[in-house]
């Protein structure tokens, strides 16, 4: 038993060294000599931990990974090496014959697993405590889901803290068993809930935006006085721990973090909002189709700004979206546009383009020139991808992990847990180890962001 515990301590200690090392490497971009000094420092920090604490961390880590990862017929891959970009380890994982492909938890199984909620929380490795700083700064999250309760639950677990709130919107036309599975998971937490109104989501259609607004309205009606709202796809995953998010968001000081695209890049997609689109049913599929009808100019003399469907929104901004006459008028105007969630937030947020608006946390500088840190994705024609492409976005594989450790964003999109599942497994281990270590984060990069409310 003692030797087993020593092995577990060594495994967790090594992974914490990795987490701290990569965090330092990402933020300071040190020379090799300084990196060696940093590794020595982190090792000394680990030596200061009590043996009992190390054993506890190791056991919690093993409990987590044993419940989330596949059963390997070959030796488990080294997350340390994969996160370093070790080509030999990457090729070894890619070439390994893994059968079965994935021992995922079926949707129906979550109904049984959640019959005992305390046991579910413990067995699945949820972090049920927070620092005083985190308790004083709750965050609201939304997760939009259309399949795969297991991957959704892994995302929820990675971002879960008891002071936050979590709204899950599941596509109304998704299988009933998926909806039951997600309701069962939510029933085990006071701060996790399904949206009160579910939409039939159509790709690029208005119901996708309406689903988000439903979660926003539900979040505003909660008793928790959350500070920021972050919307997520179920295939995304955090790059920052909850504590790190809080530290960064306190610097934001009420500013929103929303992408803005204008000029020639906006002109490329002008037909998305200059012509009307309609919902059609063809060959058993429901989709949007462009019409010849030209749209009127947006209300309140608003000019459209393009952006992402995802962002980081202050509480005041969410209240503005739900209640301001200009915001509501733009929402109605957007009903027959293509992907309205990719212009709605951005248009309301960027005050250089629309100075007539009085948007809380809005940005007055040039939209295209500022960083955007809500989510990172590798895009076709712009970024390399070692996984596979899906609708122009990289589904991340094990060969992409080394790029994640240097990113500054809050989240990454996307993983699929049935494609090179070791990639998500290692991302999960990495963020979990960093959450448990709770070591100080260098905020220098974030302190210089141009959109902060100073």
Spatial separation of the C-alpha atoms in residues 135 and 131, rounded to whole Å: 6
Cis peptide before 100 (omega within 30 of 0): yes
Of 157, 62, 174, 155, nearest in space to 107 by CA: 174
Q: Is 282 helix (H, G, I), strand (E, B) or coil?
A: strand
Spatial separation of the C-alpha atoms in residues 140 and 221, rounded to whole Å: 12
Q: What is the Cα gyration radius of the chain?
A: 22
Pairing assessment for the beta strands 192-194 and 165-170 based on DSSP bridges = parallel
User: Where does 218-326 show beta strands of DSSP type E?
Assistant: 228-233, 236-238, 275-282, 285-294, 312-314
pTM recorded for the entire structure: 0.85
Cis peptide before 414 (omega within 30 of 0): yes
pLDDT (0 to 100) of residue 98: 53
Spatial separation of the C-alpha atoms in residues 101 and 41, rounded to whole Å: 40
Spatial separation of the C-alpha atoms in residues 59 and 53, rounded to whole Å: 10
pLDDT in tens, the chain (454 residues): 444 444 444 444 455 545 544 444 444 344 344 434 443 444 444 343 333 343 343 334 433 443 443 333 335 678 989 999 999 999 998 887 454 455 689 999 999 999 999 999 999 999 999 999 999 999 999 999 999 999 999 999 999 999 999 999 999 999 999 999 999 999 999 999 999 999 999 999 999 999 999 999 999 999 999 999 999 999 999 999 999 999 999 999 999 999 999 999 999 999 999 999 999 999 889 999 999 999 999 999 999 999 999 999 999 999 999 999 999 999 999 999 999 999 999 999 999 999 999 999 999 999 999 999 999 999 987 899 999 999 899 999 999 999 999 999 999 999 999 899 999 999 999 999 999 988 889 999 999 999 999 8
Map out the domains of the chain as residue ranges. Answer: 2-68
122 tagged catalytic: no
Count Cα neighbours of 234 within 13 Å in the Cβ-side half-sphere: 18
Selecting among 212, 342, 420, 428, the annotated active-site residue is 342
Pairing assessment for the beta strands 285-294 and 393-395 based on DSSP bridges = unpaired
pLDDT (0 to 100) of residue 104: 83
Spatial separation of the C-alpha atoms in residues 235 and 424, rounded to whole Å: 10
Spatial separation of the C-alpha atoms in residues 404 and 376, rounded to whole Å: 9
């Amino acid at each position: 038993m003692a030797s087993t515990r020593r092995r577990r301590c060594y495994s967790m200690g090594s992974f914490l060294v990795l987490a701290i090392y990569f965090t330092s490497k990402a933020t300071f971009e040190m020379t090799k000599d300084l990196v060696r000094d940093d590794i020595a420092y982190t090792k000394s920090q680990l030596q200061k931990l009590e043996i009992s604490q190390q054993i506890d961390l190791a056991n919690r880590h093993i409990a987590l990974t044993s419940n989330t990862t596949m059963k390997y017929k070959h030796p488990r891959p080294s997350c340390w090496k994969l996160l370093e970009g070790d080509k030999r380890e990457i090729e070894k994982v890619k070439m390994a014959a893994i059968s079965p492909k994935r021992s995922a938890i079926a949707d129906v199984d979550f109904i049984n697993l959640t019959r005992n909620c305390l046991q579910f929380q413990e067995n699945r490795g949820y972090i049920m405590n927070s620092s005083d700083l985190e308790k004083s700064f709750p965050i609201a999250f939304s997760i939009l889901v259309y399949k795969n309760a297991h991957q959704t639950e892994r995302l929820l677990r990675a971002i879960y803290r008891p002071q936050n709130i979590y709204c899950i919107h599941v596509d109304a036309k998704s299988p009933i068993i998926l909806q039951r599975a997600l309701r069962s998971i939510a029933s085990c937490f006071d701060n996790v809930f399904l949206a009160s109104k579910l939409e039939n989501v159509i790709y690029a259609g208005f119901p996708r935006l309406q689903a988000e607004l439903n979660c926003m309205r539900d979040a505003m009606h909660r008793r928790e006085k959350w500070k920021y709202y972050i919307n997520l796809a179920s295939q995304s995953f955090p790059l920052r721990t909850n504590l790190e998010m809080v530290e960064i968001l306190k610097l934001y000081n009420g500013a929103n973090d929303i992408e803005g695209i204008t000029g020639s890049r906006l002109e490329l997609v002008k037909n998305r909002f200059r012509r009307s689109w309609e919902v059609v049913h063809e060959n058993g599929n429901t989709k949007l189709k462009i019409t010849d009808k030209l749209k009127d100019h947006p209300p309140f003399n608003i000019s459209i700004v393009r952006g992402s469907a995802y962002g980081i929104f202050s509480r005041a901004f969410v209240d503005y979206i739900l209640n301001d006459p200009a915001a509501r008028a733009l929402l109605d105007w957007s009903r027959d546009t293509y992907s309205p969630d990719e212009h709605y937030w951005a248009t309301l947020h960027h005050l250089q383009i629309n100075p007539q608006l009085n948007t809380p946390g809005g940005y007055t500088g040039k939209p295209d020139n500022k960083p955007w840190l809500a989510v990172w994705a590798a895009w076709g024609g712009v970024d390399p991808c070692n996984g596979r492409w899906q609708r122009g976005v990289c589904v991340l594989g094990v060969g992409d992990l080394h790029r994640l450790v240097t990113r500054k964003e809050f989240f990454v999109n996307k993983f699929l847990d049935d494609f090179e599942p070791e990639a998500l497994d290692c991302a999960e281990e990495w963020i979990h180890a960093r959450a448990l270590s709770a070591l100080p984060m260098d905020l220098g990069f974030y302190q210089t962001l141009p959109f902060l409310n100073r």
